[in-house]
Amino acid sequence: MPLRLDSRDPGFAAAFTALVDARREANEDVSRDVTAILKRVRAEGDAALADYTQRFDRHDLNASGWAVTPAETRAALHGISTELRDALELAAARIAAYHEKQKPQDSDGVDAAGVRLGARWSAVDAAGLYVPGGRAAYPSSVLMNAIPAKVAGVERIAIVTPTPGGDINPMVLAAAHIAGIEEVWRVGGAQAIAALAYGTDKIRPVDVITGPGNAWVAEAKRQLYGVVGIDMVAGPSEIVVVADGRNDPEWTAADLLSQSEHDPTSQSILFTDDAAFADAVAQAVERQIPALSTAAVARASWDANGAIILVGDLGEAMPLVDRLAPEHLELAVDDPEPLFARVRHAGSVFLGRMTPEAVGDYVAGPNHVLPTGRRARFSSGLSVLDFMKRTSFLSLTPAAIAAIGPAAVALAKAEGLPAHAASVALRLP
């Protein structure tokens, strides 16, 4: 059964702190296993990839083919229904429109001292995108990762995805075609992350790796940060719903289960100020779970990581929400703006009763690759900026270096760096 808490109970503070501090992510065994996988792929390259793929995904890369051809992605697009093709194209258009507005502007100007200062933005040369393909296959993740990279101007984009039995979901291939991706590899897991980071004879290395994956994928990204850039270390999915008693409990139950069905380690939490509504939602969850094709996963997640928290009023919930810093936050009230104004830490916020988190997973436009595990306290969702870097520049005239150079000389001498001081002083009048 899910955790039930009441903010008015004497033991609430300790119980809520335990909920905030609970870890649902990789353990030491995962870290050790990933270290060994990365080391082997770096040393053995494609041979290690082929062996791991045979072992974990049960197919021979040399027989099934290492890469998916553009002709196969095109055929996949034409092979799905018109309804699904239209849905993917709508999603792609909305994601592109949203992310186009994130493109940063270059700057260039001269300050009062006569120094020209500026910054120029440019895309990375190559990006690697991880697309899950084990427990479920997510064409939406293809669009959410590939389109920001395209908008940023990345010239080479490579997808890696696990293919159990050698098969790839045709929707994933269709999404890759819509996104204009021509490099798709039938390799997944930590070994795929290693291949993108280090490069092999077949797979060229990239500069940035993005995309969600299981605990081994997340740990591989964490260990390889610095060799390549990464978007984030993503953990299990999570949702917090703040709702009053005027909501339909069936809607709220479905919203909570939309994350519970992802994985047994996902987390779904309801804050409400209405005890009767809390009970109604709990009952609705019990009614809905058996009807789900994902019932086993949803049940395990809800029982282990679900929580219903009763508060005196919804304003009281907001500092508690900030402590959780959730990946997804729904504010299911008539006027969400006052509560939204108090939100400091959340990956993405869904405002009002008619805005379920699930619409953001597919067609709304903002990215669904979001910080988990309280990382919204210091990080943001995937964006165009994850595929770009900023180069600053400056230019001094004789008058400009005369104006600011003496201060640089003084600071260099104070730091005990005489060559620094000399490089400036020799240019002074």
The CA distance from 108 to 218, in Å, is 38
Is residue 214 a known part of a binding site? yes
Query: In this structure, which topology does domain 3-25+235-364 adopt according to CATH?
Result: Rossmann fold (3.40.50)
Tokens read off for 254: 């479905």
DSSP 8-state code for residue 165: G
Q: 17-68 pLDDT, tens per residue? A: 999 998 776 677 899 999 999 999 999 999 999 999 999 999 999 998 999 9
The dihedrals phi and psi of 153, each to the nearest 5 degrees, come to 100, 20
- Look at the block and give the residue holding tokens 């072992």: 55
Which residues are tagged catalytic?
A: 327-328
C-alpha triplet 262, 129, 263: angle, nearest 5°: 10
Tokens (6 digits) for 274: 């209405």
Question: Per-residue pLDDT for 234 more than 90?
Answer: no
- Give the burial class of 83: count Cβ atoms within 10 A of its Cβ; 0-12 exposed, 13-18 middle, 19 or more buried: exposed
Contact in structure between 367 and 152 (CB atoms under 8 Å): no
Please give the single-letter amino acid code of residue 236: P
Q: What is the pLDDT of residue 26?
A: 61
- The answer to whether 420 is a known ligand-binding residue is yes
The answer on whether 177 is annotated among ligand-binding residues is no
pTM of the model: 0.93
At 118 the pLDDT is: 98
**Chain region(s) in the chain for CATH 3.40.50.1980:** 3-25+235-364, 28-106+122-230
What average pLDDT does range 192-210 have in this prediction? 98
Q: In the numeric block, which tokens belong to residue 131?
A: 């697309």
Q: Are 318 and 14 in contact (CB under 8 A)?
A: no
CATH number of 28-106+122-230: 3.40.50.1980
Residue where the block lists tokens 């018109």: 82
Buried b (16+ CB within 10 A) or exposed e, 52-62: bbeebbebebe
Task: Kindly state the tokens that stand for 345.
Answer: 């830490």
Nearest 10 degrees: Cα torsion 250, 298, 330, 3: 90
345 is in an annotated binding site: no
362 a known binding residue? no
Mean pLDDT, all residues of the chain = 96
